[in-house]
Amino acid sequence: MTVRDVFTGVRWYLREVSGESAYDRYVEHRRRDHPDEPVLSRRAFERARQDEREARPQARCC
């Protein structure tokens, strides 16, 4: 394992955990499964994703 691998791994992990990579996954998914349909812009996608949290509050523990 090189330093580069570690860096890539950490970056991958942080992007996944923080949800930063959600949009990339969404775009990939749309291209693959619905190639003819339009893809949301990042702004619109993130907005919808944030507003969705409104309806599903996630408890934080004690």
Partner 1 sequence: MRTKSIAIWSAVAIVGAVAWGVIALVRGESISAAWLIAAAVCSYAIAYRFYARFIQYRVLGADRNRATPAERLDNDRDFQPTDRRVLFGHHFAAIAGAGPLVGPVLAAQMGYLPGTIWIIVGVIFAGAVQDMVVLFFSMRRDGKSLGQMARDEIGPVGGVAALVAVLSIMVILLAVLALVVVNALANSPWGTFSIAMTIPIALFMGFYLRVIRPGRVLETSLIGVVLLLIVIAAGGWVQDSSLADAFTLEPETLVFCLIAYGFVASVLPVWMLLAPRDYLSTFMKIGTIVLLAIGILVTLPVMENEAVTKFASNGEGPVFAGSLFPFVFITIACGALSGFHSLIASGTTPKLIEKETQVRFIGYGAMLMESFVAVMAIIAASIIDPGIYFAVNSPAGVTGGTVETASQFVNGLGFAITPDALQAAATAVEEESIISKTGGAPTFALGVSEIFAGVTNGGKAFWYHFAIMFEALFILTTVDAGTRVGRFMLQDTLGNVYKPFRQVSWKPGVWLCSAIIVGAWGYFLYVGVTDPLGGINQLFPLFGIANQLLAAIALTLCTVLLIKHGKLKWAWVTGIPLAWDAVVTLTASYQKVFSADPKLGFFAQRDRFQDAIAAGEVLPPAKNLDDMNAVVTNSTVDGVLAAFFALLIIVVILDATRICIKAIRSREPLPTSEVPAQESKLEAPDGLLDRKPELVA
Interaction between residue 3 and partner 1 (CB under 8 A): no
Tokens of 3: 């330093």
Residue 38: CB minimum distance to partner 1, A:
16
Which residues between 23 and 62 bind partner 1 (CB under 8 A)? 23, 26, 29, 42-43, 45-47, 49-62
Task: Tell me what percent of the chain is helix, strand and coil, each rounded to the nearest 5.
Answer: 70, 0, 30
**Cβ-count burial of 40 within 10 angstroms (0-12 exposed, 13-18 middle, 19+ buried)?**
middle
Contacts with partner 1 by CB under 8 A lie at 5, 8-9, 11-20, 22-23, 26, 29, 42-43, 45-47, 49-62
